[in-house]
Chain A
Amino acid sequence: MSTTAVTQEGPAAVAPPSSIGSHIRDYWRRVRGGDIGALPAVAGLLALCTIFSIMRPSFLTAGNFANLLTQGAAVTLIAMGLVFVLLLGEIDLSAGFASGVCAAVLANVVTVLGYPWYVAVLAAVLTGLVIGTALGFLVAKVGIPSFVVTLAGFLAFQGVVLLLMEEGRNISVRDPVLVAIANNNMSPVLGWALAAFAVAGFAAVQLLRYRKRAARGLINDPLAVVLGRIVMLALVLGIAVYVLNLERSRNVLITSLKGVPIVVPIIAVLLVVWTFVLKRTSYGRHIYAVGGNKEAARRAGINVDRIRISVFMICSTMAAIGGIVAASRANSVDPNTGGSNVLLYAVGAAVIGGTSLFGGKGRVLDAVLGGAVVAVIANGMGLMGYSSGVKYVVTGVVLLLAASVDALSRRRAAATGNR
């Protein structure tokens, strides 16, 4: 009995230095095994941009690029929060109108009550936090399916926005700081500085990790791949900042319009912070664990209820931030803020980016990539003069496409034993 051979391959402990070739082969094997990650979103983004640029040259201008970023910002922010809920295999249908409620609170506090902008922002964010806590409590402690809880929230918050707007009036937001969030740009120098800072920070983190792992003899990505990632980020950021720093005012004599929109660093910082939380803290690890196998997480001593409540808190708080950006962009809040297609666009963004509706798989970056796809579709089709009817249909089809990719890659993964 004790002579059964268990030893076949090399020891698990010491890693062979992996080459670029094997790295690419590994990646390709994962893709074929159904672990496609951000591939469809990136490919779709490139394809859409190419098509729109050919059909409408005005698509590929600095002005439109800046437009795109501010148009997609609110939905992207809401989608970033939704990723957390989706990671547990739950859904938050109320995120759109939650952002509306928070925007309404913001407008009331700053315009009607006349408090300074930071009080209004704090009030809006706290409102989001309270909403999320209530939703999470109902889901985790009372045990109502999240679909039902948040559908009720969807209806109720729509009513709350109406009530806060005193039946249909809209409230303007004129505070210069709040308006600046989604309408002003950073100075070109600051844009470059932040981009350089981001690349340097990314490079430092990546190289430090590489060195630390190499020093301990652990499996590492090839150095060329690590460097490639850094160069890639530098290129993307460099091109984006360069383009956004071009003059995009029609008449330079009246106003000068250039620089990176202020929402961009806001989204970037939140992206970094939430990615850190998900990937580098045990809290984030526990979110994935609960999304993957709730019972296993429970037996590992993880407080599952607390995790479930917390993701709804994050989601609604991010919705609040999205609502603030939406209010800033529109210079006002009306009963439809956060309504109509906002929620579907946000869910669509997360799913298109590669976050699974089945839980356990997703990244905050997905929301940004998917948000870009959604924004490009809306923007490009608008430029081509299609009606909103057509836009809705196309976005719906794209969402369905993304969900199919998700479901099919899951089946593929099951078939190849990857899940």
Chain B
Amino acid sequence: MSATPLLELRGIDKSFGPVQVLRNVALSAYPGEVTALVGDNGAGKSTLVKCISGIHPTDAGEFVFDGRPVSINNPREAAGLGIEVVYQDLALCDNLDIVQNMFLGREKRSGIVLDEPTMEQMAAETLAGLSVRTVKSLRQHVSSLSGGQRQTVAIAKAVLWNSRLVILDEPTAALGVAQTAQVLELVRRLADNGLAVVLISHNMNDVFAVSDRIAALYLGQMVAQVRTTDITHAQVVELITAGRSGGLGLAADTGANGNGAPADSTTGGVS
């Protein structure tokens, strides 16, 4: 297993005015692995993602990417590092076709003219690389796609750019059983291709089906980050709802957060 994380966050603080949303958060994402980020509604998952993708500036903390300390001040810098985010609401334009959506804002051009053949070819190759074969034509409008296909396009858009870290914010929330399976398989394949993947999900079955590690946020604190094989369903649910579970999570009295290390045994706190 890969020893060094591709992205490592340490001590991230983030407040919106008087409300502190993230407290001393640590998170690691490893290449070739799916890290599931779980937590209750309002725990701060989306906020953490937006800090990583450069939408929100952080108040404190450091980013280490590929072993080097970096600062990410806007979405373009995140993209420059190879960080791509699939937002929960997908952010696709219904009136554009698949290729147009995948290249939106980063169109290939020759001179001032759009280079459609190149874009179409790259899109086709990317989708083929993801083993996506359910889309009939790359030139069909996104509006005519099913939910799963749209999700596929959004993911393909994220992996088109030599991305190294792909973050997916609840990619299966609106999908049916078959399409969820499809998307999860796609997520797995990304990791198997060597990318680091962070998957946000509320669905424990999905989390356990696809993830290598689980990171649990509780009220803005990272209470545990453990290997999926070292933890049970029930424990994760406890971490999400109460912030601790057995030897994992917050200490009973201090409220200091456990962080980082796999099998978080340093923070005690049996109730």
**Across the interface, do A288 and B121 meet the contact criterion of CB distance under 8 Å?**
no
**Across the interface, do A6 and B182 meet the contact criterion of CB distance under 8 Å?**
yes
Partner of B92, one of A218, A286, A293: A293
A229 at the interface (CB under 8 A from B): no
Cα distance, A4 to B188, chains bound together (Å): 12
Partner of A282, one of B79, B90, B109: B109
Q: How far is the CB of A356 from chain B (nearest CB, A)?
A: 9
**Across the interface, do B185 and A418 meet the contact criterion of CB distance under 8 Å?**
no
Residue of B nearest to A293 (CB): B93
**Across the interface, do B95 and A299 meet the contact criterion of CB distance under 8 Å?**
no
Number of residue pairs spanning A and B whose beta carbons lie under 8 angstroms apart: 126
**Across the interface, do B92 and A361 meet the contact criterion of CB distance under 8 Å?**
no
**Across the interface, do B143 and A9 meet the contact criterion of CB distance under 8 Å?**
no
**Across the interface, do A13 and B128 meet the contact criterion of CB distance under 8 Å?**
yes
Q: A282-B107, A292-B96 are in contact. Are A9 and B141 (CB under 8 A)?
A: no
A296 at the interface (CB under 8 A from B): yes
B18 at the interface (CB under 8 A from A): no
Which residues 103-120 of B have a CB within 8 angstroms of A? 104-107, 109, 112-114, 117, 120
Pick the most buried of A282, A286, A297: most chain B CB atoms within 10 A of its CB.
A282
Q: How far is the CB of A360 from chain B (nearest CB, A)?
A: 4
Partner of A9, one of B94, B96, B128, B133: B133
**Across the interface, do A4 and B143 meet the contact criterion of CB distance under 8 Å?**
no
Contacts of A2 in B (CB 8 A): 185, 188
Cα distance, A417 to B139, chains bound together (Å): 16
Contacts of B136 in A (CB 8 A): 9, 12
A291 at the interface (CB under 8 A from B): yes
Cα distance, A295 to B186, chains bound together (Å): 25
Cα distance, A322 to B143, chains bound together (Å): 36
Contacts of B114 in A (CB 8 A): 280-282, 285
* Binary interface encoding of chain B residues 121-154 relative to chain A, with 1 for a CB under 8 A from any of its CBs, else 0: 1001101100111111111010110000000000
**Across the interface, do A292 and B95 meet the contact criterion of CB distance under 8 Å?**
yes
**Across the interface, do A4 and B185 meet the contact criterion of CB distance under 8 Å?**
yes
Which residues 240-297 of A have a CB within 8 angstroms of B? 280-282, 285-286, 288-289, 291-293, 295-297
**Across the interface, do B121 and A296 meet the contact criterion of CB distance under 8 Å?**
no
Residue of B nearest to A300 (CB): B105
Partner of A302, one of B92, B104, B135: B104
Cα distance, A386 to B135, chains bound together (Å): 54
Contacts of B124 in A (CB 8 A): 12-13
Contacts of A340 in B (CB 8 A): none
Partner of B144, one of A216, A219, A286, A418: A418
Q: How far is the CB of A309 from chain B (nearest CB, A)?
A: 18
Residue of A nearest to B75 (CB): A301
**Across the interface, do A293 and B94 meet the contact criterion of CB distance under 8 Å?**
yes
Cα distance, A8 to B148, chains bound together (Å): 15
Cα distance, A267 to B185, chains bound together (Å): 53
**Across the interface, do A7 and B105 meet the contact criterion of CB distance under 8 Å?**
no
A10 at the interface (CB under 8 A from B): yes
B209 at the interface (CB under 8 A from A): yes
* Binary interface encoding of chain B residues 30-63 relative to chain A, with 1 for a CB under 8 A from any of its CBs, else 0: 0000000000000000000000000000000000
A224 at the interface (CB under 8 A from B): no
Cα distance, A4 to B87, chains bound together (Å): 24
Q: How far is the CB of A361 from chain B (nearest CB, A)?
A: 6
Contacts of B234 in A (CB 8 A): none
Contacts of A300 in B (CB 8 A): 91, 104-106
List 28 interface pairs A-B (beta carbons < 8 Å), by A numbering: A6-B132, A9-B134, A12-B137, A12-B138, A13-B124, A13-B125, A13-B128, A219-B138, A280-B114, A281-B113, A281-B114, A285-B114, A286-B104, A288-B95, A292-B93, A292-B94, A293-B91, A295-B91, A299-B75, A300-B105, A300-B106, A302-B104, A360-B93, A360-B94, A360-B95, A417-B144, A419-B94, A419-B141
Instruction: List 15 additional A-B contacts (Cβ < 8 Å) besides A1-B184, A300-B105, A413-B143.
Output: A1-B185, A2-B185, A6-B134, A7-B133, A8-B133, A8-B134, A9-B133, A12-B132, A285-B107, A288-B96, A289-B104, A292-B95, A293-B93, A302-B105, A418-B144
